[in-house]
Structure 1
Amino acid sequence: MSGTTRVYGLIGSPVEHSLSPAMHNAAFAAMGLDAVYTAFPVEEENLEAAVKGLFAAGVAGLNVTIPHKSAMLSVVDDLTPLAVGVGAVNTVYLDRGILKGDNTDVVGLLRAVARDGARLDGRVVILGAGGAARAALQAVLLEGGEAIILNRTPGRAESLAESLNEMWERDAVQGDALEPETAVEAVAFANVLINCTSVGLNDSEATPFPWASLLPPDLYVFDTIYSPSETRLLREAREHGCRTRNGLAMLVEQGAESLRIWTRREPPVDVMEAAVAGSV
């Protein structure tokens, strides 16, 4: 590092476990940039002061992780349409003196599924109704697809569907309960299933969809979780003939999109993925 090194970072709590520093620093080295990426643990009550202070001190860009993605909406000066649509910010930068908030999760998901030739312009089943689900649903709607949200609390799924249909002025999203009858009916007519819950995270025996034996073999199954590298959902889907992918590609692709925004250069996605692949 020197006095001219550009500093980027991740804010959240906790951040000690994050793969982002390894991923971004590998990219900077491969790109020949005098830049460094580090993690900043920031508690909720200090969020605005930390963000304003870091940019005042010369930080060139920030990523945002839990629990601050939604709170960042009111911290930045301006929001991109994707950040508004998802209701969350994961990338922050200065644009002609204006602190701007963006969301790269949508692009990250689209590029991740595109690796397998999958598309979200058909009928997509979304498991969960939280922040990851909102990003996935924006991706589906951008592609012109339709979605059904299945959630253990059906009211949350229905409310999210209603808000998205109003936002997009389309009747393209439905919400329902994550129960055997509705789940099996939903996947029977779907092209893609995306798990946006945390069920299965660091637990190879937990699954958000215990009816995998009924998955049609032509279904593409994507799990936003990447640890373990093959969740029970993905393992059982693969055993029934489905194509599958875990969330590592989405992590890498959303990080790469942040780098494009910050540097206006094309990042080495393969280098970024290699830097973190051994950690999951």
Structure 2
Amino acid sequence: MIRAGVIGHPVSHSLSPRIHNRWFEETEIDGRYEAIDARPEDFVEAVRRAAGDGFVALNVTIPHKEKALEIADEASPSARAIGAANLLVFRDGKIFAENTDWCGFAEAVEREGGSLAGDTAVVLGAGGAAAGILYALQDFENVLLANRTRARAEALAGRFPNVTVVDWEKKLELGATESGLFVNTTSLGMAGYPTLGMILGDPGPAMVVDIVYAPMETKLIRAARKAGKPVANGLSMLVWQAVPSFEAFAGIPPKRPAATLADLEAELS
């Protein structure tokens, strides 16, 4: 039996076990995907214990993605460039680090008719998700990055030659900037947090992405739909990043990822 899982803290809310266990059933693979809660101080021990217990891989979620890259014996170019790993594969006594978050973002954008290249893109936030998204946007000529803490944005922008930092106070202007993509990577708009308070002006973005999926339709997504713009949210990104993860430990791709996404959207709406 294939054993895999997701490790984070907290992790009980994760949808990954539902996604991957469904895919094990649909592909008729004898596998089990589990959630492992590990505090930061227990992370390394928990990973090594999982490897010793027969796990073939672990997805990694908040707050362990940077540490996951640190403990790996080898890492993919994308994980190195992003500075974080969301997938650890155990093979031949070694830990291999990969990052599929950027793949999930890219797939979500392209499936909704967006483009990963162009003149300008706008990204709000410089947290853990932003690095993977900036990695996916390297074919844009200029990416405007705004974060409440400018120093953090500048540190992140320094890793990508096409990124320009903009003051957070000017974020409303960014909503009216003509861009190929407008991406919110902050927690603003998430249930229990303040709303983003963005106004999408004219001409504004060609497409809007909000990594939040609780609620499924944030105020930003609602405004984009009203303006007739294509949108993508965090749930779409979650499902599409899971596809290469599943293939890494199952050996084959899932059969019906789009159906999985549709079912989750219907359930969580």
Matches within 5 A, 1:171-186: 172-180=162-170, 183-184=172-173
TM-score (norm 2): 0.92
Aligned position for 2:52: 56
Aligned position for 2:131: 134
Do the aligned partners of residues 80 and 249 (structure 1) sit closer, same or farther apart at CA in structure 2, a change above 3 Å counting? same
Contact 2:175 2:200 in 1 (8 A): no
Shift of 1:155: 2.3
State the identity %.
Answer: 35
Shift of 1:207: 2.8
Take 1:173 and 1:14, find their aligned partners in 2: how far apart are those partners?
Answer: 32
Q: Which amino acid aligns with 2:124?
A: L
Match for residue 61 of structure 2 among 52, 65, 78: 65
Shift of 1:218: 5.6
Contact 2:145 2:163 in 1 (8 A): yes
Q: Is residue 120 of structure 1 aligned with residue 116 of structure 2?
A: yes
Larger mean CA deviation between 270-279 and 123-132 belongs to 270-279
Take 1:243 and 1:217, find their aligned partners in 2: how far apart are those partners?
Answer: 12
Do the aligned partners of residues 215 and 57 (structure 1) sit closer, same or farther apart at CA in structure 2, a change above 3 Å counting? farther
Do the aligned partners of residues 8 and 211 (structure 1) sit closer, same or farther apart at CA in structure 2, a change above 3 Å counting? closer
Match for residue 241 of structure 1 among 223, 228, 232: 228
Deviations 1:33-65 (A, max 9, x none): 000111011111111111111111111110111
Q: Which amino acid aligns with 1:216?
A: P
Would you identify which runs of 4 or more consecutive aligned residues in structure 1 move more than 6 Å? none
Match for residue 270 of structure 1 among 253, 258, 265: 258
Aligned position for 2:237: 250
Take 2:156 and 2:48, find their aligned partners in 1: how far apart are those partners?
Answer: 31
TM-score (norm 1): 0.89
Which SS does the other structure have where 2:158 is aligned?
Answer: helix
What is the total number of aligned residue pairs between the two structures? 266
Matches within 5 A, 1:41-190: 41-122=37-118, 123-141=120-138, 143-165=139-161, 172-180=162-170, 183-184=172-173, 187-190=176-179
Larger mean CA deviation between 105-114 and 266-275 belongs to 266-275
Unaligned ranges ≥5, structure 1: 166-171
Aligned position for 1:195: 184
Contact 1:23 1:276 in 2 (8 A): no
Deviations 1:200-257 (A, max 9, x none): 1115x8433x241425366200101111110011112222332222221100001111
Shift of 1:270: 2.5
Which SS does the other structure have where 1:176 is aligned?
Answer: strand
Deviations 1:60-107 (A, max 9, x none): 110111111111122221111111111111101124432101110011
Q: Which amino acid aligns with 1:207?
A: T
Aligned position for 1:168: none
Unaligned ranges ≥5, structure 2: none
Take 2:249 and 2:141, find their aligned partners in 1: how far apart are those partners?
Answer: 30
Shift of 1:144: 4.8
Take 1:68 and 1:260, find their aligned partners in 2: how far apart are those partners?
Answer: 22
Contact 1:128 1:197 in 2 (8 A): yes
Aligned position for 1:10: 6
Q: Is residue 225 of structure 1 aligned with residue 212 of structure 2?
A: yes
Coordinate RMSD, CA, aligned: 1.9
Which SS does the other structure have where 1:189 is aligned?
Answer: coil
Larger mean CA deviation between 216-225 and 50-59 belongs to 216-225
